[in-house]
Structure 1
Amino acid sequence: MAFWGKKKKETDPDAREDRKKVGLFRRLWQKVRNIDWKDPVTRWKVMFISLIGLIVIGGGSYGALAITNSPAFCSSCHEMAPEYSTFTASAHNNITCVQCHIKPGTINMLTHKVKSLKEVYYHVTGVPEQIVQTEDEVVSNENCMQCHSKNRLVTASGDLKVNHKGHIEEGIPCISCHAGVVHAKMAARGINTEEVRGEYTKETAEKIMEKKYLRPNMGTCIDCHDKVNNGEKPWKDVAYLVPPNPEEVEKKIDESKKEGVSEPVATETKTESAVEGTAGSGTAEDLAKVHEEKTQDLILQAIGKQQKDVKISMACETCHRKVKVPKSHKEEGWNQAHGGTAIQELDKCVNCHQDSKWIREIPKEDIISLLKMKSAENSSHKYTANLTVVKDQSRVNNFCSACHGKRPAGHIESDQWLTAHASKAKTADQKAECFVCHDREKPVEGSTTVKAPTDVYCQYCHRTGFKDDVKN
């Protein structure tokens, strides 16, 4: 007895003839047509087979989704080693990757699985030099709100005052500020490239998970607030939320070269936008100058020395609750007398007066050097008073150069100061104060020495040197 009916005998000549002439699919179709659908037993058989098929297909699909949704599956590809290891070292290691990277909903899940086929293609044909987040993969607020509440005003540290609800209702993505909470901004730092993927373990990740990359970057807040004050809404552009793709940046540089534009000088703040700006302005030096002027302008607003009618105040106390001016800063003559304190306590000074914190762009790093540096930091190391270090810091730090770049009030008129300043520079310590702003010798073009904030140097007049010829 066959499953759907009686089977013809092998001795029947018609059966042998049909087997020779009729193909497989035709025979199956004939069997389907010959099924007696009115027979209740037949209907039960169809239902039973359909149920088994659905269980097999559904179970297999669910199993495939469960496996591909697990962090372990992500770690199976070597190119994801940096991302997976930092994930395991982060505060989000108790949830799965897809809870952040795929919007809630079955349709979104299935759509993402189809799009992910390109990642399989890349894995087979050739992994990109660096894994970067694309504009269509930005973590949405929907994902964050599955666990976090928007009704927060003060951050967990108790210092920052951030109206999360106001930001969210304005349409600002959480990722605008919290971009490094899991992966410590590896792509922007350039430490997840092909040549270093083998270096990553959980222990390695713990060393590079620095707070300054996990927490919101003050430079991001300042950059966004400044743009809002200029009538912009930068978060509307998705490209503003993701680090630039190195391959696209190199492509733009190549295109600039072909168009006859000189290649921009490599700086800590060179990003895709900087490359575009260079193409328009012509030189990286002009960009650096504009950047310094803008930073100093913001610093003066922050410390209350420059008031502007803006939508969002740039003053420190607008966002910080624990900002306090040290008592020493309120003493009479502090502006002229703080140099000695800076020499002895520079490490404390730069905790607040560090303009690199005001930069949104992340400097490129080398993971090998970074790990060595971390090992050195773990050993006992304290700052020791160093005049050269303080001098260089005063020249490159925009907090310092905001004042040091201007002529001090005590210098009186130039024609009078020319003959009166000798008494102010008799000792080595007095000369050292002068060298904060002035170079002793004429700066050499292309020299790696930090440039003085003023182009007036001592040997311009003292061409035969000083009487005591004491160098500092």
Structure 2
Amino acid sequence: MAFWGREKKKETDPELIEEEKNIGLLKRLWQKVRNIDWKDPVTRWKMMFISLMALIVVGGGGYGVLAMTNSPTFCASCHEMAPEYSTFTASAHNNITCVQCHIKPGTINMLTHKMKSMKEVYYHVTGVPNQIVQTEHEAVSNENCLQCHSKNRIVTASGDLKVNHKKHIEKDIPCITCHAGVVHAKIAARGINTEEVRGDYTKETAQKIMEKKYMAPNMGTCIDCHDKVNNGEEPWKDITYSIPPNPEEMEKKLQINEKKAEAKETLITGEAIASDHDEKTQKLILEAIGKQKKNVKISMACGNCHKSTSIPNNHKVANWNNNHGVTAVAELDKCMECHQDSKWKRDIPKEDIITLLKMGNEKRKYTPNITLAKEESRINKFCAACHSDRPDNHGNSDQWLTAHASKAKTSDQKAQCFICHDQKKPKADSPETLAPTDVYCQYCHRTGFKDDIKN
């Protein structure tokens, strides 16, 4: 008895033997299958046994492959993922797997993602992109976050921010719009996960990169989104608003925009874009501190989002606006905790990882420096929101010109003047920060000051 059905007598005819030799392998296998006696109960049991074993082997192997590729260790096996894996291990989410965030729940989603991930194998073999960024098709969804987190929260874990998570989620606002840095500290947006620095990443160095300001929600993002809502927009509808920009796609868009601008002969310069952005930032700052109000859907006032906004006692003294310069020089580091421009901007500046690794995220002690304070008052948009206005005590220009000498006798008094004015005419190629006014002392005092007091 053969394994499948009855055993047939062997053919002894030489011609038949030769003919069988000429038959292809697939055809011979098909003939054997056709010769199986499927009516035999034993044959059917054998088929069921073999099918079961094959299912166990294939299923077990497939599960093993899925389990292996779902492991963070598997992600770490590719050198291009070193920045992402290192920051993951240094984050508060290091007790879950990568796929719990990056693949939507469900077997179908899991298998679909595995098929799509074959392109990553292709890139690994043929050439890895200079920078790894999330695409709109791979963005972390709210469905992933809600596996662990509740949406019924009004106050954040810090206890200060008032954020109605439920209302945001009901509007289909992605969690990553605010929480994009919770695991990887926005290394893609900061430009510190490129090919040339991947070898610098370890678990220890990642600790220096995981700064709180990049892991926590960015206030500039809240302001930018609220401002767009006040203008009738819903920016989160485009998922690219919530994920880091892809450098390659940004370069293509820039080239397209340049061609369009050239065709219209109205090329918009980078300076014009920056000027428009600065003007918008100052408008928002003035609104937040209550100096500019308008009918809006979402108020920009600090108290709208912050549970407690304690104003320092020294800010409440009389004439603080005109006399805070001395405090600014002495405690500039404290001033910047609230008034730093980066807190008001959504865009994240590019960084140098080598400098970050050397300096770390340790807070450096500030030494009072009048030059640094002066520069900050000129370039900081929060300061410039008021400093760009002509002071009240300057009065009428003609009267002020003949009377301001008594206000600038000592070095301290001159130091206040130099916040807005330069002593000498700035050179065209000067690296110094330009003053907010083109009026400088030596325009009139061409021989210097009588008492020869220098800044």
1:401 lines up with 2:401 in the alignment: no
Question: How far off is 1:259 after superposition?
Answer: 6.8
**1:173 corresponds to which residue?**
174
1:412 maps to which residue? 395
Q: Which residue does the alignment assign to 2:155?
A: 154
Match of 1:357 in 2: 343
Contact 2:261 2:268 (C-alpha < 8 Å) held by counterparts? no
Matched, 1:22 2:20: no
Q: Deviations over 1:245-302 (max 9, x none)?
A: 11223334455666786xxxxxxxxxxxxxxxxx966212212221111111111111
- The Cα of 1:468 is off from its aligned counterpart by 2.4
Q: Distance in 1 between matches of 2:424 and 2:273?
A: 27
1:328 aligns with 2:314: yes
CA drift of 1:137 comes to 0.7
Q: Structure 1, residues 113-167: CA drift from partner, whole Å, max 9, x if none?
A: 1111111110000111111111111100000000000000000110000000000
**Pairwise CA RMSD of aligned residues?**
1.8
Per the TM alignment, residue 220 of structure 1 is displaced from its structure 2 partner at its CA by: 0.4
Residue aligned with 2:44, SS:
helix
Structure 1 gaps, min length 5: 262-278
Q: Does 1:457 align with 2:440?
A: yes
Which of 33-42 and 233-242 deviates more? Answer: 33-42
How many positions carry a matched residue from both structures?
452
Distance 1:164 1:258, change over 3 A: closer
CA distance in 2, matches of 1:311, 1:196: 44
CA distance in 1, matches of 2:434, 2:248: 33
- Corresponding position of 2:164: 163
What SS does the corresponding residue of 2:65 show, helix, strand or coil? Answer: helix
What is the one-letter code of the residue matched to 2:58?
I
Distance 1:168 1:289 in 2: 34
For 1:203 and 1:465, the matched residues in 2 are separated by: 56
- Residues 1:293 and 2:279 aligned together: yes
The code of the aligned residue for 1:76 comes to: S
Q: 1:86 touches 1:184 (CA, 8 Å); kept in 2?
A: yes
Cα distance in 1 between the residues matched to 2:259 and 2:173: 38
Moved more, 198-207 or 290-299: 290-299
Question: CA deviation digits over 1:333-364, x for unaligned, max 9?
Answer: 11111111111111111111112211101110
Q: Deviations over 1:374-428 (max 9, x none)?
A: 18x47xx421211111111111111111111111111110111110101111111
Gaps of 5+ in 2: none
**Alignment of structure 1 residues 419-438 onto 2, 5 Å:** 419-438=402-421
**What is the aligned partner in structure 1 of residue 129 from structure 2?**
128
The answer to whether the 8 Å contact 2:5/2:37 transfers is no
Distance between the aligned counterparts of 2:395 and 2:252, measured in 1? 53
CA contact (8 A) 1:10 1:16 kept: no
3-state SS of the aligned residue for 1:399?
helix
1:83, distance to aligned residue in structure 2 (A): 0.5
> Aligned partner of 1:385: which letter?
P
Given that residues 132 and 243 in structure 1 are in contact (C-alpha distance below 8 angstroms), is that contact kept between their aligned partners in structure 2?
A: yes
Q: Deviations over 1:221-247 (max 9, x none)?
A: 000000000100000011111111112
8 Å CA contact retained: 1:218, 1:358: yes
Partner of 1:276: none
Please report how far the alpha carbon of residue 16 of structure 1 lies from its aligned counterpart in structure 2 after TM superposition. 2.7
Percent of counterpart pairs with the same letter? 73
Who is 1:229 aligned against?
A: 230
Amino acid in structure 2 at the alignment position of 1:34: N
Which secondary structure does the structure 2 equivalent of 1:368 belong to? helix
Of 418, 424, 428, 1:445 maps to: 428
Q: Which residue number corresponds to residue 265 of structure 1?
A: none
Partner of 1:343: 329
Q: Is 1:312 aligned to residue 295 of structure 2?
A: no
TM-score normalised per structure 1? 0.92
